[in-house]
Structure 1
Amino acid sequence: MLKPGYTSLDPEWLAPLRERIATEAPEVDLWISVDSAGHLAVDKIIVPRRLRNQGTGSRVMSLLTTEADEQGVTMALTPTREFGGSLYRLRAFYRRHGFSVNGGRTKDYTTRNAMIRRPAL
């Protein structure tokens, strides 16, 4: 039986990535998936308040971006204050990790997410 958030269509590299992050940052609530367009979608990432501003989120994001680069996949996400973060700080955090607003001439119409990060070559 599959765990919640997992599908039988997940690529082979996704389960080991989830396990590695769960081992290295067990306190982080992370939901990631590969969407129908092949993007690594960060659906939810919550760092507990007591662990914020200590590099935990950056460590997790570094693991995610490194794997996305190795797999050659675009990442997609939409920052939200729903879990207690500031939109301004979240957008700045994601920009530091290579994300940009999904809009304008370079808009990726295969996702509804507000920010994307193309793989580093």
Structure 2
Amino acid sequence: MTTMRLCHLNELPEGGARGFDPKRRGQDTVFIVRQGERLFAWADRCPHHGTPMAWRKDAYLNAAGDRIVCGAHGAQFAIDTGLCTLGPCLGDSLTALALQVQPNGDIHLKTTEEQETST
């Protein structure tokens, strides 16, 4: 297992989300939602059609900031579990990704060989 640095904790908006392109391919493939000290990392891929989640850069949450929303078709997902609670992929889940927060606040994405080819 390897890790890839994404950002520092201070670079994540409280109650917000941010996308990342760890492979520098020109499109975010990972996003993190921050709720206080809790971080939730997901593959930036809707389980319905595999489309990116954000409707614009870093726009992953609904207006209330309490659900992840797919910009392609409006499906809603629980922030903490990734479970689809409304929409065409009801019952499906986002793909969770593992993070490692360093003592200095740097956030790293933990990747396996399989994840490295898809994220």
Q: Which has the higher strand share?
A: 2
Specify which structure has the bigger relative contact order, considering alpha-carbon pairs within 8 angstroms and separated by 6 or more residues.
2
TM value normalised by structure 1 = 0.25
Q: Which has the higher helix share?
A: 1
TM value normalised by structure 2 = 0.26
